[in-house]
């Protein structure tokens, strides 16, 4: 990238940065620091990659730039002038457009209608559809983003929808385009096409911010990149100056905050046995592709990987939330295909769900009732007709104490608790059923340090007592600290099996997570125990 030098009114000015965000700090109401004094800048006409793990703070940074979030500190400079971006509309006025991961399109409307929505050209009382179509066509041709302006969005494949989103931003005068993981939903062919289009956009003077996890894509497409980790920028680099391994090291490196003391595992019999599992998700995409592994009594098997690489679907199948799959899943030797959620739970399975507010609690119900959900009909808590309030109360008091749930009384509504305490309610309920198999999906996401430490310790204790644990986490600290062994998932497949987590360094892990390296089938096959 060459830097232009201008002399304006005798003043030497490095006109290199089109837009810069300086010292951005964003603290969410729950106390999580998403961005900490982040500097980020882009030059006119470049494709700038923004990379980082889940939760590294890149989405927050982009939300701030697009006016969806407001920072506590920091300034945004556009063309040398400080600007305020109070809303998406303000961002659009400043020529900043965003293509969200979830498309902001109206399915039953045509491409042209979606394009002009909110600023429709008029002919008398009517929408001037002819003009809308013509403008869409013109814009599409200019940027070589070929779409049929009269097609309905719902009939279009994902790749084309994305083109419409890009066009929508351009139609509103965007010169800086933020693309949030645009290739996550695309096929390789569509990705190739997108890259060509982005190059064309760049050649015409537009600037693109490209958020991605896929390093080879960044290598192929981008000029510079900014790496984020734990809410901080790790620096800006020319893509040509850094190797994939460098990027991976900077991005996946971790700061060990919490150490968990644990003995080596002493694995016993196989409890969970996943055998050639393939899952097709609701969008018809093969989310899990022919994977096999097993988890034994007394061990924690971690599942590492960038989110959205099939972990969610894997958990849904094992816990019975989703039923249709190919291949077999056996828990304590029982094939779960015909089993209901209840029957799977009765095999000794418990589940800490990823989305605790949807699956983990009923927020307007009190703590006691929430603690009862999975065992409300067990003979321990209910007689032939009536429940046993005394036993239930004893149980809830015991769990509140044991799990240090901070609350006024067991009758307090769950929604009045902090995130960490809500998660403790979930964990207390699930762990108290003396589980054979624990499925822990992001068990400490978004909660405070104290609760995190507590839950992690608990997991190790249960392992020592003989539970088999499958730990799915996008938090590297967590998987590396807690797991005895781990598998790495990428693109719905297992790319590595690490028998002893302690032998692994994060650099190596990063290469597997981002699909740069992959073990041989024999090595991966070691994840299956008999």
Partner 1 sequence: MFKQKRLFELSRTILAIAIALLIALVTILFVSEEPAKALSTFLLGPLKSVRHFGNVLEMMIPLLFTGLAVSIMFSAAQFNLGAEGAFFLGGIASTYIAVRWALPNVIHPAFAILLGGVVGAVFCGIPAILKVKWNASELVSSLMLNYVALFLGLYIINYFLRDVNAGAMVSYKLAESSKLIKMIPGTRVHFGILIAVLMVVLVYYLMYRTRWGYRIRLTGLNSSFARYSGIKTASVIVLAQLLGGFIAGVGGSIEVLGMYRRFSWQTLPGYGWDGIIVAILARNNPALIPVGAFFLAYLRIGADLMSRTSDVQSEVVYIIQGVMIVLIAAESFLAHYRHKLVFKEARNRST
Partner 2 sequence: MSNFFNIIFSVDFGYAVLRVTTPILFAAMGALISDKAGVINIALEGMMLIAALTGVIVSALAQSAGLGLLAAVIMGALVGMLLAYFALNLKTDVILAAIAINLIAMGGTVFVLFVVGGDKGISSSLPSLVLPKVTIPLINKIPVLGSILSGHNILTYGAFLSVYLMYIFIYKTPLGLRIRAVGENPHAADSVGISVKKVQYIALTLSGALAGFGGAYMSMGYVSWFSKNMTAGRGFIALAAEAMGGATPQGAMATSLLFGFFDALSNSLQSLRIPAEFVQMIPYLATVIGLVIYAASKTRQIKRIQAQKERDAQL
Shortest Cβ 381–partner 1 spacing (Å): 9
What 3-state DSSP class applies to 258? Answer: coil
Shortest Cβ 414–partner 1 spacing (Å): 10
Q: Which is nearer to partner 1, 269 or 413 (CB)?
A: 413
Shortest Cβ 288–partner 1 spacing (Å): 20
Provide the token pair at 357: 């507010």
Q: Which is nearer to partner 1, 368 or 484 (CB)?
A: 368
State the Cα torsion 114-118-123-124 to the nearest 10°: 140
How much of the chain is in helix, strand and coil states, percent to nearest 5? 35, 25, 40
Place of tokens 């972990």: 311
What 3-state DSSP class applies to 520? Answer: coil
361 is in the binding site of which of partner 1, partner 2, none (Cβ under 5 to 8 A by kind)?
partner 1
For 450, residues 6+ apart whose C-beta sits below 8 A from its C-beta are 420
Number of helical H runs and strand E runs in the chain: 17, 24
Q: Which residues bind partner 1 (CB under 8 A)?
A: 319, 321, 340-342, 345, 351, 353, 358-366, 369, 372-374, 376-377, 382, 385-387, 389, 408-409, 411-413, 416
Q: Which is nearer to partner 2, 104 or 397 (CB)?
A: 104
Hey, which residues between 130 and 189 contact partner 2 (CB under 8 A)?
Answer: 168, 172
**Could you tell me the CA-to-CA distances from 510 to 29, 499, 500, 516 in Å, in that order?**
31, 16, 16, 8
The piece of 14-22, 27-35, 95-103, 359-367 that touches partner 2 (CB under 8 A) is 95-103
Q: Cβ distance 197 to 145 under 8 Å? A: yes
The dihedral built from the CA positions of residue 483, 486, 490 and 493, taken in this order, carries a sign that is negative
What 3-state DSSP class applies to 304? Answer: strand
Shortest Cβ 362–partner 1 spacing (Å): 4
What 3-state DSSP class applies to 445? Answer: coil
Q: Which is nearer to partner 2, 69 or 448 (CB)?
A: 69
Q: Cβ distance 394 to 380 under 8 Å? A: no
409 is in the binding site of which of partner 2, partner 1, none (Cβ under 5 to 8 A by kind)?
partner 1
Q: Which is nearer to partner 1, 259 or 376 (CB)?
A: 376
Q: Which is nearer to partner 2, 120 or 448 (CB)?
A: 120
Contacts with partner 2, 108-137, as mask; x by CB under 8 A: xx---xx--xxxx-x--xxx-x--------
Shortest Cβ 181–partner 2 spacing (Å): 17
Q: Which of 1, 5, 106, 146 binds partner 2 (CB under 8 A)?
A: 106
> For residue 11, what are the β-bridge partners?
8
341 binds partner 2 (CB under 8 A): no
CA angle 15, 19, 21 (to 5 degrees): 125
393 is in the binding site of which of partner 2, partner 1, none (Cβ under 5 to 8 A by kind)?
none
Q: Which is nearer to partner 1, 53 or 313 (CB)?
A: 313
Residues that bind partner 2 (CB under 8 A): 88-89, 92, 100, 102-109, 113-114, 117-120, 122, 125-127, 129, 168, 172, 280, 282-286, 324
């Amino acid at each position: 990238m060459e830097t232009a030098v201008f002399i304006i009114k005798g003043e030497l000015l490095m006109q290199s940065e089109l837009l810069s965000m300086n010292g951005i700090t964003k603290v969410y109401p729950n106390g999580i620091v998403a961005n900490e004094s982040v500097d980020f800048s882009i030059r006119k006409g470049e494709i700038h990659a923004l990379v980082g793990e889940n939760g590294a703070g890149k989405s927050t940074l982009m939300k701030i730039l697009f006016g969806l979030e407001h920072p506590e500190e920091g300034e945004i400079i556009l063309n040398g002038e400080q600007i305020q971006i109070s809303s998406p509309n303000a961002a659009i006025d400043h020529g900043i457009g965003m293509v969200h991961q979830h498309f902001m399109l109206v399915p039953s409307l045509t491409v042209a209608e979606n394009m002009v929505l909110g600023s429709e050209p008029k002919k008398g009382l009517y929408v001037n559809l002819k003009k809308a179509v013509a403008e869409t066509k013109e814009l599409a041709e200019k940027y070589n983003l070929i779409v049929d302006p009269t097609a309905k969005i719902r009939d279009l494949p994902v790749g084309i929808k994305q083109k419409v989103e890009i066009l929508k931003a351009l139609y509103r005068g965007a010169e800086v385009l933020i693309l949030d993981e645009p290739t996550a939903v695309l096929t390789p062919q569509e990705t190739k096409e997108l890259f060509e289009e982005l190059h064309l956009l760049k050649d015409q003077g537009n600037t693109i911010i490209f958020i991605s996890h896929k390093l080879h894509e960044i290598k192929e497409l981008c000029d510079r990149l900014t790496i984020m980790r734990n809410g901080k920028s790790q620096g800006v680099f020319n893509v040509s100056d850094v190797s994939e391994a460098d990027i991976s090291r900077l991005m996946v490196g971790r700061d060990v905050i919490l150490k968990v003391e644990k003995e080596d595992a002493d694995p016993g019999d196989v409890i969970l046995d996943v055998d050639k599992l393939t899952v097709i998700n609701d969008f018809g995409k093969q989310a899990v592709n022919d994977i096999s592994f097993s988890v034994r009594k007394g061990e924690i098997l971690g599942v590492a990987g960038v989110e959205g690489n099939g972990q969610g679907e894997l958990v849904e199948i094992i816990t019975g939330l989703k039923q249709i799959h190919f291949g077999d899943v056996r828990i304590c030797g029982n094939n779960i295909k015909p089993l209901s959620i209840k029957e799977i739970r009765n095999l000794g399975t418990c589940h800490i769900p990823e989305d605790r507010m949807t699956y983990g609690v009923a927020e307007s119900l009190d703590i006691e009732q929430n603690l009862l959900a999975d065992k409300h009909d067990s003979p321990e808590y209910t007689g032939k007709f009536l429940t046993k309030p005394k036993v239930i109360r004893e149980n809830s008091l015991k769990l509140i104490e044991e799990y240090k749930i901070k609350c006024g009384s067991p009758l307090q509504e769950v929604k009045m608790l902090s995130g960490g305490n809500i998660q403790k309610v979930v964990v207390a309920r699930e762990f108290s059923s003396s589980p054979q198999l624990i499925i822990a999906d992001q068990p400490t996401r978004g909660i405070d340090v104290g609760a995190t430490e507590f839950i992690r310790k608990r997991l190790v204790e249960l392992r020592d007592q003989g539970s088999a644990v499958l730990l799915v986490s996008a938090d590297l600290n967590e998987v590396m600290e807690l797991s005895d062994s781990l598998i790495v998932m990428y693109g719905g497949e297992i790319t590595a099996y690490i028998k002893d987590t302690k032998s692994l360094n994060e650099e190596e892990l990063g290469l597997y997570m981002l699909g740069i390296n992959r073990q041989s089938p024999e090595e991966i096959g070691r994840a299956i125990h008999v």
